[in-house]
Amino acid sequence: MRPSEAAGSILITGAASGIGAACALSAAEQGHALVLGDLDADALAKAAEACEAAGAAGVVRAALDVRDSGQIAALVDAGEKAFGQVDRAITSAGVDRGEPAHEMGEEIWDLVLDINLKGTFLTCREVIGRLVAADRPGSVVCVSSIAAVAGIDGAAAYCASKGGVSAMVRSLGVEYAPRGIRVNAIAPGATETPLMWANVDEAESAAVRQEVDEVIPIGRLAQPREQAQAALWLLSEQASYVTGSVLTADGGVTATMVLPA
């Protein structure tokens, strides 16, 4: 994506850390104007400073709970005021709370689904709705996961939420293609982010890392910037004929079948 392609700005949720922060920094290095949101206001301020230093055309930021449609609308308002249009978005806000399904309280299920799935929907609805009203093209990339298609022990809520994201992206891609609005997703595998280690005891992290590395054909976890490059490609005009797609970036994990000896 080149700055000359950016008629407006890019909204990124979950922009303070992990894949969202990597997307913001990579887009800043390409000279784009950014509208950043994250629940962690302090970390978001640091991420915004890094983007400004990296060459962003401008940065607007605000603390954001993606479960609150009013906060999403206010952030998009700020982006439109600063840059004229929010015509692209990357929805990266997400959480994971791992528990055995039979022990999982409803509050955990609701939290994960509300942030990962409902929050993604609300963000898409806000951005797409304004593009439709303005009769403008645009592009949205949602962050799903290989958990959308693979069972993970103790992650029923997370898997369900990401399965919903991937299904929603396919539907939105079809629904808004005639309007010139593309909607896609990336499905990252194991990536070096805080979310990757959210449910792992620090004492076990080295053993878990080795175990994960051994089952990835490429032999290592992804770096957040590698996922960001996939997302930015989908967002760009380089992917102008791609919509309703989920791009898997997992080092070959889901292409692998392991059978008993």
Please, are residues 191 and 250 in contact by the beta-carbon 8 Å criterion? Answer: no
User: Whole-model pTM?
Assistant: 0.92
pLDDT digits (tens, 9 = 90+) for 107-128: 999 999 999 999 999 999 999 9
State yes or no: is 176 an active-site residue: no
Please, are residues 222 and 249 in contact by the beta-carbon 8 Å criterion? Answer: yes
Question: 187 lies in a domain?
Answer: yes
pLDDT digits (tens, 9 = 90+) for 45-63: 999 999 999 999 999 999 9
Question: 216 lies in a domain?
Answer: no
Count of structural domains within the chain? 1
pLDDT digits (tens, 9 = 90+) for 7-27: 589 999 999 999 999 999 999
What DSSP state is assigned to residue 115? I
Position 192 scores a pLDDT of: 86
Among 245, 234, 51, 32, residue whose Cα is nearest residue 138: 234
Sheet with 181-188, side-by-side order of all strands: 58-63, 33-38, 9-13, 86-91, 138-143, 181-188, 246-249
Question: 39 lies in a domain?
Answer: yes
Question: 134 lies in a domain?
Answer: yes
- Quick check: 188 pLDDT over 80? yes
User: Which range, of 58-67, 110-119, 174-183, 193-202, averages the lowest pLDDT?
Assistant: 193-202
- Quick check: 152 pLDDT over 90? no
**What residue numbers bound the domain in which 114 lies?**
7-192+223-248
Q: If residue 141 lies in a helix (H) or strand (E), which one and from where to where?
A: strand 138-143
Residues present in the chain in total: 261
Q: Residue 210 — very low, low, confident or very high, per pLDDT cuts 50/70/90?
A: confident
Q: Which one is catalytic: 158, 173, 189, 251?
A: 158
Position 241 scores a pLDDT of: 98
What DSSP state is assigned to residue 117? I
Position 233 scores a pLDDT of: 98
Q: Residue 3 — very low, low, confident or very high, per pLDDT cuts 50/70/90?
A: very low
Question: 208 lies in a domain?
Answer: no
Question: 242 lies in a domain?
Answer: yes
Question: 35 lies in a domain?
Answer: yes
Please, are residues 90 and 141 in contact by the beta-carbon 8 Å criterion? Answer: yes
Question: 149 lies in a domain?
Answer: yes
Position 260 scores a pLDDT of: 60
Please, are residues 151 and 199 in contact by the beta-carbon 8 Å criterion? Answer: no
Position 193 scores a pLDDT of: 79
Report CA 43 to chain centroid distance, whole Å.
Answer: 17
Instruction: Give a three-class secondary structure readout of 188-213.
Output: ECCECCHHHHCCCCHHHHHHHHHHHH
CATH number for the domain that contains residue 140: 3.40.50.720
H helices, E strands: number in the chain: 8, 7
